[in-house]
């Protein structure tokens, strides 16, 4: 309000991967409205709840995310702040995101067809049905059980498994499944700041990626599944030596 009173409003407000991180999303949205010119545009990009549900991405439910957003929910939040959604883009980032384009309710922008299309997808995907959310726990348990069965079987057979990517989603998965260093002796990460430390909760050591070439594990569990293709490409030399790659979400897959 102070900035608006000084005549400092924006033609464009862009927020990528911030909307799900604010503790008071209604107050935040009212702030966006106050800071926006009458014919300005807001673009907000965030992971789409529809994809989280469809692809069993329960491991993205962790401390820095205050909201898991559908377009139905965002539309209501916008309307309460005097805003409306006039366009939507679907994006592949973070396992499936959306970018919404918003404006003041009275602005001249015409609503594009993708808004209603994505709203229909959410209805078809069960996002307005309580049973969809009630069934989600069992699906998370299935991922946990598949991962534990895989790790226990490899240990029984004398095979070695390492992990790649000391990511927040990986910590959620490993702590939920109760995985410790006896089943997963180390994880590699390219971030030097993480190397020489431990994953919180599981206390699995974090090593530099070069450790994979030295240890040559039979399997590498890719914890940040959203960049699995990139990780496999970066570690082609391991595949050439017989190492296989594994992801646990949305279901266990051995590549």
Instruction: Tell me 66's DSSP state.
Output: -
Chain segment 92-108, per-residue pLDDT in tens? 998 999 999 999 999 99
* Residue 176 belongs to domain spanning: 137-254
154 and 36 share one domain: no
Q: Give residue 65's pLDDT band: very low, low, confident or very high (50, 70, 90).
A: very high
Q: Across the chain, what does the average pLDDT equal? A: 96
Angle at 30 between CA 25 and CA 35, to 5 degrees: 125
Quick one: pLDDT at residue 172?
95
125 and 196 share one domain: no
212 and 160 share one domain: yes
Give the pLDDT mean for 28-35: 97
Round to whole Å and give the CA distance between 135 and 51: 15
Round to whole Å and give the CA distance between 41 and 155: 55
Kindly give, in sequence order, each residue whose CB lies less than 8 Å from that of residue 92, ignoring residues fewer than 6 positions away: none
Quick one: pLDDT at residue 104?
98
- The answer on pLDDT for 134 being more than 90 is yes
20 and 98 share one domain: yes
66 and 163 share one domain: no
97 and 147 share one domain: no
171 and 220 share one domain: yes
129 and 192 share one domain: no
Quick one: pLDDT at residue 1?
87
Q: Considering 109, 134, 159, which residue would you say is the last residue of a domain?
A: 134
Q: Left, alpha or beta for 93 (phi > 0: left; psi -120 to 50: alpha)? A: beta
Q: Report whether 43 contacts 13 (CB < 8 A).
A: yes
Where residue 185 sits, what CATH number does that domain have? 3.40.50.720
Round to whole Å and give the CA distance between 31 and 14: 13
76 and 21 share one domain: yes
Round to whole Å and give the CA distance between 235 and 173: 23
110 and 81 share one domain: yes
Chain segment 148-198, per-residue pLDDT in tens? 999 999 999 999 999 999 999 999 999 999 999 999 999 999 999 999 999
Round to whole Å and give the CA distance between 126 and 25: 24
Quick one: pLDDT at residue 63?
87
219-222 and 97-104 strand pairing: unpaired
Q: What pTM, to 2 d.p., does this model score?
A: 0.89
Q: Report whether 189 contacts 234 (CB < 8 A).
A: no
Round to whole Å and give the CA distance between 56 and 53: 5
Where residue 91 sits, what CATH number does that domain have? 3.40.50.150
| Count: domains in the chain | 2
């Amino acid at each position: 309000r102070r900035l608006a009173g000084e005549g400092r409003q924006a033609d464009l407000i862009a927020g990528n991967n911030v909307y799900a991180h604010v503790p008071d999303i209604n107050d935040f949205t009212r702030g966006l409205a106050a800071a926006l010119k009458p014919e300005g545009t807001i673009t907000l990009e965030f992971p789409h709840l529809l994809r989280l549900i469809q692809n069993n991405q329960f491991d993205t439910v962790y401390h820095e995310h205050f909201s898991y957003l559908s377009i139905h929910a965002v539309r209501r939040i916008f309307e309460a702040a005097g805003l409306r959604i006039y366009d939507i883009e679907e994006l592949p980032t973070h396992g499936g995101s959306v970018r919404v384009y918003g404006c003041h309710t009275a602005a001249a922008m015409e609503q594009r067809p993708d808004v209603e299309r994505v709203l229909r997808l959410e209805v078809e995907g069960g996002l307005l049905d309580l049973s969809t959310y009630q069934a989600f726990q069992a699906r998370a348990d299935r991922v946990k059980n598949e991962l534990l069965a895989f790790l226990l079987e490899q240990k029984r057979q004398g095979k070695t498994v390492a992990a790649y990517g000391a990511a927040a989603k990986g910590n959620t998965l490993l702590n939920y499944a109760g995985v410790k260093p006896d089943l997963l002796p180390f994880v590699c990460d390219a971030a030097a700041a993480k190397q020489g430390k431990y994953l919180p909760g599981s206390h699995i050591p974090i090593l530099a990626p070069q450790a994979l070439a030295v240890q040559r594990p039979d399997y590498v569990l890719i914890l940040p599944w959203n960049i699995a293709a990139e990780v496999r490409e970066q570690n082609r030399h391991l595949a050439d030596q017989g190492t296989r790659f594994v992801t646990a979400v949305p279901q266990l897959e051995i590549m």
